């Protein structure tokens, strides 16, 4: 469930980015206002997404990737 919410927030961030592009292309006062609102929305959603991921990791709702590949450890014989 948490993964679905994360994906929805990422899609919302991309939609806000698209609205900012439309405002940039439109230009003028109205376009500038649209770009500013888009920027505020993107920053707010990004901060919320970061906090959500941190909280979900803390609560155990999401698990980190544990498939780590370590280099093989070779033992060197002791010198006398």
The pLDDT tens digits for 22-76 are 888 888 888 788 888 899 999 999 999 999 999 999 998 888 776 666 666 677 7
Whole-prediction pTM? 0.72
- Which residue bears the tokens 């959500």? 52
Instruction: Please say whether the beta carbons of 34 and 23 come within 8 A.
Output: yes
From residue 50, how far is each of 1, 54, 59, 67 by CA, in Å? 16, 6, 14, 23
Count the helix, strand and coil residues of the chain and give each as a percent rounded to the nearest 5: 70, 0, 30
pLDDT at 48: 96
Q: For residues 71 and 80, what is the distance between their CA atoms, to the nearest angstrom?
A: 27
pLDDT at 26: 82
The pLDDT tens digits for 3-36 are 899 999 999 999 999 998 888 888 888 878 888 8
């Amino acid at each position: 469930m948490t993964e679905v919410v994360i994906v929805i927030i990422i899609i919302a961030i991309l939609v806000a980015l698209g609205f900012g592009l439309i405002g940039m292309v439109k230009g003028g006062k109205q376009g500038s206002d649209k770009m500013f609102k888009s920027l505020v929305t993107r920053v707010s959603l990004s901060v919320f997404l970061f906090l959500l991921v941190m909280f979900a990791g803390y609560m155990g709702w999401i698990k980190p990737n544990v498939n780590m590949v370590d280099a093989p450890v070779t033992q060197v014989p002791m010198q006398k």
